Each structure stands twice: as C-alpha cells, then as structure tokens.
Structure 1
Amino acid sequence: MDYSLAAVKMLCSQLRDAKPTPSQNAASLGGVLFQRAWLQGVLVPFSGGGGDNCLVLDDGTGLLELGLTNDFALRQWKSGMFIRWLTCR
C-alpha cells in the first residue's frame, strides 16, 4: 500500500468507472491515481442470489456491496445506518 497516494472521496457511480492499473496495484479516474477510496452512505438490506445476507452501501448514485473482515462482521450493523467506508482497490 502506497500511503503517499490520497484516499479520494468518491461516489459509487465514480468508483464503477475507475480503471485498474495493475503495474501500480492502484486505480485511476480522470488522471487521479489512488489505492483507497472513501465513500459514505446508508446501509440497505440485500439478499444475495445464494440467500446469503450482506451489507450494501447506498450513496444515492449507486450501490456497493461491502466486503467485511471477521472483525467488522461481528459488529451490530443495522439497515439505515449512515456510515463512511474506506475501500482498497
């Protein structure tokens, strides 16, 4: 992880348009290179195709399924919570 690259604040719709740059283990959007993106929105319930419940962030421009590590999965997440989320590419 290159911490000299900023964690850019973006919308879910913008994150979808980001292009991977495998040689740098990063992504770019509009000429901005990043490895981490900061998003914020509301948690909404979602039932996956396999019947597994997961958390989805809705920021008003799109939805982003959240990948939780075991530490975060143990917390009391509730639909309607407003959260800030930092994701790594």
Structure 2
Amino acid sequence: METQPNNPLHGIKLEQIITDLEAHYGWEYLGHTIKIRCFNENPTVKSSLKFLRRTPWARTKVENLYLKMLKSQAYKKSLN
C-alpha cells in the first residue's frame, strides 16, 4: 500500500467523513451548505454514501467541507 503524505484524506473512509460531518454540523446545515437531496430529504448515512459514491462533484464538495472542518478544529485546539 502506497503512502500519500500530501493527501489529508488518505485512509479516511467516506462513511467516516459523513458521520463526522453529521455529528459536527447536523443534517440541516449539511443540506443548506451542500444542496443535495440525500442531505435534505430523509437523510441517512447509507443514502448519502450511495449518492456520493456515484457523484464525483458532490463527493468533492463533501470532502472539501470535511477538510475545512478539520482545519477549523485544529485552529481551535491551537488557541487553547
């Protein structure tokens, strides 16, 4: 298995990304920020995984939001 030192998402499963985002922001915020049906109508991790695995542009938006969340959390930790 190759290491990818410049890829912050390496080794993180899409399911973990969705679970972490939902726990941090909630479905309502996710649906408002990324306007996709799987976040707005009966949102579940399973339905989100199914959609995001088939839709590269939406997955990119979710991954970017996740990276933004991680950066924000790291910044908050550095202030303490």
Structure 1 and Structure 2 fold alike (TM over 0.5): no
**Greater RCO (Cα-Cα under 8 Å, separation 6 or more):** 1
TM-score range, shorter chain: under 0.3
The structure in which a higher percent of residues are strand is 1
TM-score, with length taken from structure 1: 0.23
The structure in which a higher percent of residues are helix is 2
Which structure has the larger Rg over C-alpha atoms? 1
TM-score, with length taken from structure 2: 0.24
